Chain A
Amino acid sequence: MTHTLNQTPTPMMTMGGRAESQALADEHLAPPPVRASGLRVDFKGQPGVLAGLDWTLAPGQVVGLLGRNGAGKTTLLETLLGLREPQAGEVRLFGQPALAPDDALRARLGYVPQQSALFEDFPAADLLRYFRSFYPRWNDAKVDGLMSRWEIPRERRVSQLSQGQQQRLSIIRALAHEPDLLVLDEPVASLDAAGRRDFLRELVDQVLDRGTTVLFSTHILSDLERVAFNVAFLSRGRIALQAPQDALAEEIRLLSGPVGRLQAAVDAHGGQVLNRRDLGERPRWLVRFPGGQLPASDAALRCEALNLEDLFLELTQ
């Protein structure tokens, strides 16, 4: 089941509001950066890693992808980029099939894979020069600025950089050709708090300056709270929920109580049940109330707001 909430303006969104609202306005004119339909990927002994997944990203969106370990986040990101052929379904990037991109489309894509220790034999500067040779556009000023700001020794081989430096270098490489769609697979896993904040600032700048669509997976929920305007939950091979963060806070509630009371509350307030957990006499339902009309707690019914971490656990368990 896929649920996509409508976006509403929020304080967080004002950071990237201009670019995003412009992008949303253009959505009907230009094909979306990512449109996946009916994606199915099975592994041997593990069917339904992606199970008929449908997903569309609007231009200028910053989407944080959440899912448990082994949920298929990396597989999804690879499939979206055309690096992995799905058994069924199709991905279109800016309207083109992801499996047969032309050079112009490829110049619009940026990717930071999960593994950061890549091109180990190259000195950092040579690695950037190497990638520069492939792309028609390359922002030397941005590269130089980030290399200095993130204190990456240019002559040191990638294998001799720390994990954090390797990850920063990988991010610089992905940003240097100014992509329109940036896909990052757990980009901050090896960064310390300062490094993560600096990276997220750079990401926000990128969105503000260029209206880049950003999709990144992470396990660090506090980073999502800081920067991802939209959060998507991958569970059981599908996007179980995608919504702006403030909408999540305002509209999602965890109800517990007798089944009759839960059903009555859902019916009365036009709720959509996202997840049901049967815990004996007091089942727990995760419910979205799109209109913001929330039921009140009483002796028989408990209605709780959830933070991102609790929501993640409820949705993905």
Chain B
Amino acid sequence: MSAAGSVPGHGGHAAVLRTIGRSLRRLWWLLLPLAAITALASIKSASAAATAFCISTALLLQFAWWVGGSSLSAQNHPDFARLVPGHLRQLREVAVALFVVIAVADGLLMHAVFGRFLMFTLIAGAAIVGFAVTMRWPWAWFVIWIAPWLVGPLFPDAGLWREVKALMRDWHEQQPLTQTALCMLAMAVVLWHLLQDGGVAHRRSWRMTRQIREMFSMKGGYSPRPPETRLGQLLVKPFTWGLPAWREHLLRTARPTAGSVVARAEIATMRGAHWSSILSAAGVVFLLLLITEIAALIWMPESQATQVLRNALPGTSLGVMSALFGPMLGATTSLYRTRAEQSLLVLVPGMPRGEAMNRVMARRMLTQFLLVLGSGAATLVLMVMLIPGEWSDDLPVMGLFFAATALPGGLLLWVDWARLRQPGAAQAVVMTMAMMLAMGMGVAGGRFFGLTPWHILVVTVPLTVVLGTWRWRAVRRMAPFWPVGRHADH
């Protein structure tokens, strides 16, 4: 670079955008469902196709921000923010520009369907900033997306929220342009400051967000660190007792058999995706939910308790199954990350090799998937059974529909692990979308065709058996699973 021809801090916007573009380019295939949805809707009518296109594109743009925001956050390294002239300003400018472009584009798309351009621009902007806030403070994810589902139904008549909504609505009716402009400005300022300047707080949040980013991108770098403070350790302990307890049990009862050796090997390689870790954490949450439910049934009038619980169950149901499935699908991450550990474990006496390794591991992976799925479904059934009265709609059992629909998904664990490439963001997206699709399909089946989760099981159980039988032959022919990824470059 010529020193004479360049001004420090200028010309880097293109580089920032190129980095975002590289992340987005890998997700080009998301245009396919957009095209498919539009094509399907066009069968009905041209206006239906336009509506489907506008809504899908608006959602897709939000997703693009998800990827772009993650990329900006990843580029906001504390060292560069502190040392590279102009770097932070460029990131902030790009973030604000993307914010405005996506929010306005979303507003226009939704305006084409529903009208109210300014309101939808505002909503799109709020969603963008909401996601950015959760990138900076991961706990905000819970506050924004989960807590309202859980707390809202308990306080259906909460005055404050109603007041705020009414105030915003009135303001929008009277001064839509002013409201939109001021709110967008305020959100842009928030977004500007969410990208940090390399100080101590930035380093602290960088470490935390890196872990979150790696967890979501499934790149195999995620390793939850135990909290350093005594309070943190105390708070985390109820959720993390499962894995060490199971490890102790396995070490006490260790025998030189394939089952015992592989069980011990899984402890070290699956980590957070190990069934003992998932179930111990989820078990505590289930217990708290059940206690809450029972408490509501005991202390609230029956009609109110029933209403509150029915309102709360869709979100809870979703949360329960996500809590179980997220880590399970994260097995790819864990196994990719621990391939060096697997090199050592493959050499220990008793570890099956060759086809025997694949047989033992494939069987165990599917069993653990079913165990986790069954535990979640059983908990949900229990929660549903505790609520008195007949069901008038299917939303409360969304989780059960999901469990029934997702059953064949366990076979996704029977992949050629030896050829596994470093898992990328696209894989996380596919998994997330597959989960949402399974849930949607289940609920749609219930709503439009009057199906129950049992009906879906009648289809998915034989399907799983057939697919499993076919896949089992492939598993036996594959190269030994461990160490994973060793043939990725062949």
Contacts and interface: CB of A to CB of B under 8 A. Distances in A.
Q: Looking at B226, B351, B354, B489, which has the most chain A CB atoms within 10 Å of its CB?
A: B489
Nearest to B482: A83
Contacts of B225: 159
Nearest to A104: B349
Q: Give the dominant DSSP class at A's interface.
A: loop
Contacts of A113: 340, 343-344
Nearest to A136: B349
Contact of B251 (A85, A106, A119, A133): A133
B341 A118 contact: yes
A111 B483 CA distance: 14
Interface string A69-104: 000000000100111110100000000000111011
Q: Interface size bucket, A side? A: 35 or more
B252 to A, nearest CB: 9
A74 B320 CA distance: 44
Contacts of A83: 343, 346-347, 483, 486
A134 B261 contact: yes
5 contacts: A83-B486, A84-B486, A99-B354, A100-B354, A126-B247
Contacts of A104: 349
A100 B347 contact: no
B343 A134 contact: no
A180 to B, nearest CB: 13
Contacts of B340: 113-115, 118
A113 B489 CA distance: 19
Interface string A47-88: 000000000000000000000000000000010011111010
A85 B354 CA distance: 11
B47 interface: no
Contacts of B487: 85
Contact of A134 (B264, B483, B490): B264
Contacts of A109: 347
B338 to A, nearest CB: 8
B254 A78 contact: no
A201 interface: no
Given A100-B354, A118-B340, A133 B254 contact: yes
B271 interface: yes
Nearest to A135: B349
Nearest to A49: B489
A133 B264 contact: yes
Given A106-B348, A135-B348, A122 B223 contact: no
A107 B349 contact: yes
B489 A43 contact: yes
A121 B251 contact: no
Contacts of B267: 130
A99 B353 CA distance: 8
A26 interface: no
